[in-house]
Structure 1
Amino acid sequence: MPPRLNIPPITRILLITLVLQSFLSGAIRYRQWSAESDVVVPYIALVPQLSLIYPWTFLTTTLVENNIFTFGIAGVTIFYGGRYLERAWTSAEFAKFLLVTSLIPNVMCFGTLVFLFAVTGEMSWTLTTINGTIPLQIGFLVAFSQLVPAHTVTLFKGIISLRVPRFPLLHILGVILLSLTPMISAASTFSVLSGFLISWTYLRFYKQAFPDLETSQPASLRGDASETFAFSEFFPEPVKPVVASLSNQIYNILVAFKICTPFSHADVSASRGETIVQRGTPGSARAEAERRRALALKALDQRLHAATTGPSKPNPPPAAPASVEVQPQPNVQAPATMLGETSYVPDRDDGKS
């Protein structure tokens, strides 16, 4: 009997909705297709000029794909990424994240297309379809960058090696290039950019952080003040200082308008002391355990190094009586040989904003 797929409830609903809506949209477009015009389904997908009387499309359009290629990517993203994040955050927190990363980017993209129409007068902007799981895809990548910032993905037998925080920018670049082809609409560029900003802002400042049960941290902590999740961490080293300076200015403006609440000293100390756990289910503290294990391994390595390399002069054995023959003692293996050696390469900790 084949093993049963263990899919959490929210992820299961997403997959079913994706299949049903994409199939329905494809069937309608196929029946009405003509070579003279493009077919849109404004009561499922979001079309700025036609969908205002169907307000639910601001949510449903996220789970509508127009071709088999994007449908396959969407299914794989939700199946693997959704299962991981839902188990890490609980279904309630995962549902909140989905709502934020679906609704707000679609609204922002809608406003951008209307603005472009108002500036250029081109009616095609308001007839551009906003659909697809692109906001969810970039949101999942940002979430992975928060949960496993030091994880490195190796491809093609080590030819390509990238840390997880590098993937969001690569995804944005890929979407921009694909939006120049008929495969996805031009609105996908605005969707991926707004999805990136919204998902990072939500995780950085608003998402509830689960306290470590072994500490006295309050349960009302929100956001992630860790330096590994700073906005500049998503960018290559040469441009990090510029991005950090610019993001600081924007952050100060948002704080002045009371859109963002500045982190307290306790929040920063908690993030550095590894007392905040971003996952709340049993066995979900894997990332925290890995980082704590790395710190413990580093401390052990330093102690072993000090014990084996430091000068030590053993005390001479007491003189034996002349009538007693001293037997040679067997060789005792050195502590370093018994315990083995450890290898720890810490991540370089840059100053972040």
Structure 2
Amino acid sequence: MPTRFNINLPPLTRILFLANLAFSVLNAILRFRSWTASLPSVPASQLAQQPANYLSDPRWAVPFLALVPIRSIRYPWTFATAAVIENNVVSLAISASVIWFGGRYLERAWGGTEFAKFLLVACTIPNLLTFCVYAIWHASVRTPDFPTPIQGLLALEAGFLVSLKQLVPEHTVSLFRNTVRVRIKHFPAIFTLANIVSGPLLGTWTALWLSLFGFLTSWIYLRFYRITELTSTATGESAKMRGDASDTFSFVAFFPDGMHPFLAPLCDSIYALLVQLNVCTPFSEDAIDAGNENVAARSEGGLPSIMNHSSAGSGGRRAEAERRRALALKALDQRLNAAAANRAGSAPVASAALVTASDTVPDAAVGASAEPSQSPVAVKEAQA
């Protein structure tokens, strides 16, 4: 009996996955049509020199799908659609895999509403900043006839890595049959550094800017603006706080430990400047403690079971509820033991206080307190 194939993707992740495929195919079709339509106007002597790679040549870019500097300003929706367009099969396969695994994990971890907000921030803002860089460049030098289009999922890929660093920083990924083991918290810096180096060497300048702005935008949003749910290990109850104040998600934590003494003063100075400019609000000590406590609670569970192939949504929620219940019972047991120890320590002190008080009671008071113990008959005779 044939088994039924289950895609097992949350709604927004499924939409993003299909949009990546559909827009990339549509972009390739429109590029091919523009290229073939231009062939009759090319002289026969130059036909052999006509570039056949219509997928990467900037002259065949589609300005109402991809973000083409100068030309796409009339199509504001391209700041979002450009993020899901890939120009070749390799990059399309990579972006589809990132959406499949990273998207379904984050959507189930955060919920649909928070995941949608993150997608909007991580896709549009890096594209807008990259567009501004190219606009300034074209204004400074002579604008080419066919400027380089801005497109691809690199900004969102950097954002997914930053998000995983926040949620499961100590989870280890094994590569090449366990010959290489890398913890997830190192992936954002490695990914961004690789694109920064490849920009000057390979000429992939758009990848440089998209990955860099995607990394910074995602971290700033998750660090200072996203509503985070904090779980108290003492009571098991949840509370909401804006941003993530934990020490493990500070900017310097993205770099190797040996660089922290050199980078920490610089990062602290930049942070103080941003606070003075009212760009971000400083975290209180209670917020930092709550953030660190939440990180500790997440790390106890390891990689959440929502990545598993199952009716995993309910299973993951049950596992999370059981974990929180166990933490609450453990905290309650610790409090009861502490209260019992305090009562045991305070009992001799209370007894000594009672003895001292009884020794200092005046004799007249003792006599007065003894009067009510007389019989009712004696009381009546005394009144007569």
* TM superposition score normalised by structure 2: 0.69
| Distance (Å, rounded) in 2 between the aligned partners of 1:88 and 1:108 | 28
CA pair 271-152 structure 1, distance change in 2 beyond 3 A? same
Query: Which residue of 2 is the match for residue 206 of structure 1?
Result: 225
Distance in 1 (alpha carbons) for counterparts of 2:71 and 2:256: 41
Count of residue pairs the alignment pairs up: 290
TM-aligned CA distance change 1:181 to 1:273, over 3 Å? closer
Counterpart of 1:101 (choices 122, 134, 143) is 122
1:195 match: 214
With a CA cutoff of 8 Å and minimum separation of 6, indicate the structure with the bigger relative contact order. Answer: 1
Deviations 1:62-120 (A, max 9, x none): 0111111110001000011000000000011000000000111111101111122233x
Mean Cα deviation higher: 261-270 or 51-60 = 261-270
Structure 1 distance, partners of 2:173, 2:130, is 31
Aligned to 1:229: 249
Secondary structure of 1:123's counterpart equals coil
Paired with 1:226 and 1:161, the residues of 2 have a C-alpha distance of: 25
Match of 1:72 among 71, 78, 93: 93
SS of residue in 1 equivalent to 2:62 = coil
1:7 corresponds to which of 6, 9, 13: 9
How large is the RMSD of aligned CA atoms in angstroms?
3.0
CA distance in 2, matches of 1:125, 1:234: 40
| TM-score between the two structures when normalised by the length of structure 1 | 0.74
The aligned runs of 1:1-353 (5 Å cut-off) are 1-33=3-35, 35=50, 38-119=59-140, 121-124=141-144, 127-179=147-199, 185-212=204-231, 214-215=235-236, 218-219=239-240, 221-274=241-294, 283=316
Distance 1:118 1:246 in 2: 32
Which structure 1 segments of 5+ residues have no match?
297-353
Counterpart AA for 1:89: W
**C-alpha distance in 1, partners of 2:76/2:146?**
16
Shift of 1:271: 1.7
Q: In the aligned structure 2, how far is the partner of 1:144 from the partner of 1:250?
A: 24
Deviation at 1:15, TM superposition (A): 1.0
Task: Supply the distance in 1 between the matched residues of 2:198 and 2:34 (Cα, whole angstroms).
Answer: 25
Q: Which has the larger radius of gyration?
A: 2
SS of alignment partner, residue 26 of structure 2: helix
Deviation of 1:275 after TM superposition, in Å, equals 8.1
CA separation in 2, counterparts of 1:123 and 1:205?
37
CA contact (8 A) 1:114 1:125 kept: no
- Kindly tell me: are residues 240 and 62 of structure 1, through their superposed partners in 2, closer, same or farther at Cα, counting changes over 3 Å? same
Say whether the 8 Å CA contact 1:212–1:276 is kept in structure 2. Answer: no
Please tell me whether the aligned partners of residues 109 and 190 of structure 1 are also in contact (alpha carbons under 8 angstroms).
yes
SS in 1 for 2:294: coil
For the Cα contact (< 8 Å) 2:198–2:208, is it kept in 1?
Answer: no
Deviation at 1:149, TM superposition (A): 1.2
Measured after TM superposition, the shift of residue 231 of structure 1 is 1.0
Once the two structures are TM-superposed, the CA of residue 150 in structure 1 deviates from its matched residue by 1.4
Deviations 1:182-225 (A, max 9, x none): 8x852121111011001011111111111327456643x11111
Q: In the superposition, relative to structure 1, how do residues 100 and 123 fare at CA in structure 2: closer, same or farther (>3 Å)?
A: same
Shift of 1:178: 4.9
Q: 1:105/1:2 Cα in 2 relative to 1: closer, same or farther (>3 Å)?
A: same
SS at match of 1:52: helix
> How far has the Cα of 1:172 moved from its partner?
1.7
CA distance in 2, matches of 1:143, 1:226: 14
Matched residue SS, 1:171: helix
* One-letter amino acid of the structure 2 residue matched with residue 80 of structure 1: F
Task: Output the CA distance in 2 between the equivalents of 1:239 and 1:181.
Answer: 25
For residues 281-310 of structure 1, the C-alpha deviation after alignment (integer angstroms, 9 at most, x for no partner) is 863686x959x99xx9xxxxxxxxxxxxxx
Does the C-alpha gap of structure 1 residues 275 and 18 become closer, same or farther in structure 2, counting only changes over 3 Å?
closer
Q: Is the 8 A contact 2:171 2:184 kept in 1?
A: yes
The more displaced of 123-132 and 73-82 is 123-132
Contact kept? 2:231, 2:239, Cα under 8 Å: no
Question: CA–CA distance in 1 between the matches of 2:7 and 2:74?
Answer: 39
Structure 1 pair 125–180 and aligned structure 2 pair: CA distance change class (3 A): farther
For residues 142 and 148 of structure 2, what CA distance do their matches in structure 1 show?
Answer: 11
Deviation at 1:19, TM superposition (A): 1.1
Change (3 A) 1:100 1:231: same
- 2:46 equivalent in structure 1: none
- Contact kept, 8 Å, 2:229 with 2:238, in 1: the verdict is no
8 Å Cα contact 1:142-1:200 kept in structure 2: yes
Q: Is the 8 A contact 1:211 1:277 kept in 2?
A: no
Higher normalized helix content (fraction of residues): 2
